[in-house]
Amino acid sequence: MAKNLLPPHNIEAEEATLGALLIDPKWAIPQVQLVLKGPEFYLQKHRWLYAVLLDLYARHEPVDFLTVTTELEKRGQLEAVGGAVFITQLLNAVPSAASAVSYAHEVRQTHVRRRILDACSAAARLAYDAQRPIEQVATEAEGLFLTIRDDLAYQERLQPFAQILQQLYDEAAALYHDGIPLGVATGMPALDKLLGGGLRKGTLNIVAARPGVGKSVLLATLAVHALRLGVPTALFSIEMRGLEVAGRIVQKELGLDYTRLREGDWPRFADGLGPLSEFPLWIDDSPRLAIEDLCTKVRQLYAQHNLGLVLLDYIQLAETHQRLDSRYLTIGQITRELKHLAQELQIPIVAASQLGRDADHRRPTLGDLRESGNQEADADVVLLLHRPNGVDNAPLVETEFILAKHRQGQAGLFTMVFHKAQLRFVPLTDATSQLA
């Protein structure tokens, strides 16, 4: 039975769309053009007719029975589409052009279904090609479906200005009247103030520093605060094992290092793990993580658990399945994919990055981003961490937070103190009491 099954199509919707365009071309064509480009029509004769309608409209010529049949005749397509009789039938197919856009969406939906079937066939052929590395097969197969989804998202994001202004009003009202932050709060008032409420949806945020300055600690801090707010979070840790990450979170929350428990610590440690186990947190500690695999896992978590924050530690350790000529291009590909992912899912992504050695003894700048690739260009926010007195083992260490790039606001600088025993940053004014 499946052998004779036709691909998804809707001839009635195609004819209704074309009929509506013929009835009121001045209104309907600009509306339908936003939905259909031409290949969406199942029948070739409908594609030919649609192309004629668009061409006449683009040339500012009248679009009516006479001009359409004349143009089809010039192209040698009039008889193939069914002659003047077919054009007349289309004019009588619908009572008005009012539902033109609705008909067009019906046409587009069946076209997308055909594309999905084609992608499935292409993916099957890739799977049968034993000469291709399995990672490449998986990446290319995923790309077939991502292209379809990207096309859908492109159409959905085309909005009237009035609709966007309404969204802006809603955000401003939530912030002004209710004090609701516009993003995921970081737990650091000084940083939230600079960012205008926290980590904004759809943004790529890069945290960069030299080794040992506190990138991983900051990412754990952001994760814990988001989790306290009930934001489902994913942490990709290429540098540390999941056990180490969990140990740091426990140390931050309970003030206990699980490797150095003293007499009397056990009850507080054991009892404290219960509430922490309720955190909506997923940790991936793959030692060789390709950006394509990260994107796949994030999309799955987003679909299943409404993921709200993604953290990557760190960019320079990530890889790609693509064969690129240099590490510079690889880093650029990684940040580009992270940016696209943040925009696609409308969630903030925070990625740690290394600074070059030149930043060891001076305040760093954007130019110090190591193997920068597209880091500076792709990032919406770049936060640089710097210890004016260098990296040392003191229990409290002053750390500068330099907001070097902020696409939606101003740059800025503030100072925190790294509390080594508790693995967290505290305000400068609280440092003395924290040490005590």
Question: For residue range 253-262, what is the model confidence (pLDDT) as tens digits?
Answer: 777 777 777 8
270-299 pLDDT, tens digit per residue, is 887 788 778 888 888 887 888 888 888 888
Residue 172 inside a domain? The answer is no
Of the chain, the percentage scoring pLDDT greater than 90 comes to 21
- One domain, residues 45 and 143: yes
Distance CA 151, CA 149 (A): 5
- One domain, residues 280 and 367: yes
Residue 209 inside a domain? The answer is yes
pLDDT band at 68; cut points 50, 70, 90: very high
Of the chain, the percentage scoring pLDDT greater than 70 comes to 90
In terms of pLDDT, which residue wins out, 91 or 374? 91
pLDDT band at 372; cut points 50, 70, 90: low
Domains: count for the chain: 2
- One domain, residues 73 and 121: yes
- One domain, residues 268 and 120: no
- One domain, residues 66 and 99: yes
Which domain does 25 fall in, by range? 1-158
Residue 196 inside a domain? The answer is yes
Q: What is the pLDDT of residue 432?
A: 44
Residue 28 · residue 103 · CB < 8 Å? no
- One domain, residues 261 and 209: yes
Residue 174 inside a domain? The answer is no
- One domain, residues 190 and 147: no
The pTM score is: 0.67
Task: Give the range with max mean pLDDT: 50-59, 196-205, 233-242, 279-288.
Answer: 50-59
pLDDT at 369 over 70: yes
> Domain with 369 in it: what CATH number?
3.40.50.300
Q: What is the pLDDT of residue 9?
A: 92
Q: What is the mean pLDDT of residues 399-414?
A: 86
Residue 176 inside a domain? The answer is no
In terms of pLDDT, which residue wins out, 377 or 111? 111
Q: What is the mean pLDDT of residues 310-322?
A: 83
Residue 163 inside a domain? The answer is no
Q: What is the pLDDT of residue 433?
A: 43
Q: What is the pLDDT of residue 154?
A: 55
Q: What is the pLDDT of residue 419?
A: 79
- One domain, residues 289 and 394: yes
- One domain, residues 189 and 279: yes
- One domain, residues 418 and 348: yes
pLDDT band at 436; cut points 50, 70, 90: very low
